Amino acid sequence: MTPVVTPSDLSDGELILAAQGFWAVSEGFAIQSARQYALAVEVLDVAKLAWKVLEERRVTITGPLDQALAIYRDCEAILEKKMTAWRRRNACVTDGNCSSSGSGNSCGGYDCDTIDTCW
């Protein structure tokens, strides 16, 4: 049993209808003979092929999205680190604990003049 139309040829709505159709066939399938068993094997092969094609389709859609999300997560971490450093430096300067002379020994031993490394 070879599918005439593959999942890659279907729209999203058609994919859902096709999957629901396969579910209904699977749910109502009675295996009471060797012939019915053989037919179930063929239907299962078609379902596995559809699964594989759909998984490949999903990855082509979600792969670039996953990559972009990872980059944005990295951006978030970088900015949060820099914002935390700035807040700590700003609090140190505001409290008067920073000599701001560039000695690198103020603000609890951290250089207040270097925002990225302060605390």
pLDDT tens per residue across all 119 residues of the chain: 555 556 667 787 888 888 898 899 899 999 999 999 999 999 899 889 888 988 988 899 899 999 999 999 999 999 999 998 888 878 776 666 665 555 554 555 555 555 555 44
Which pTM value belongs to this model?
0.53
Residue (of 59, 67, 57) closest to 19 by Cα position: 57
Instruction: State how far the alpha carbon of 113 is from the alpha carbons of 24, 98, 106, in Å.
Output: 69, 9, 9
Please tell me the predicted confidence (pLDDT) of residue 37: 96
Q: How far apart are CA 111 and CA 104, in angstroms?
A: 4
- The pLDDT value recorded for residue 118 is 47
pLDDT of residue 44: 92
Q: Which amino acid is at 49?
A: L
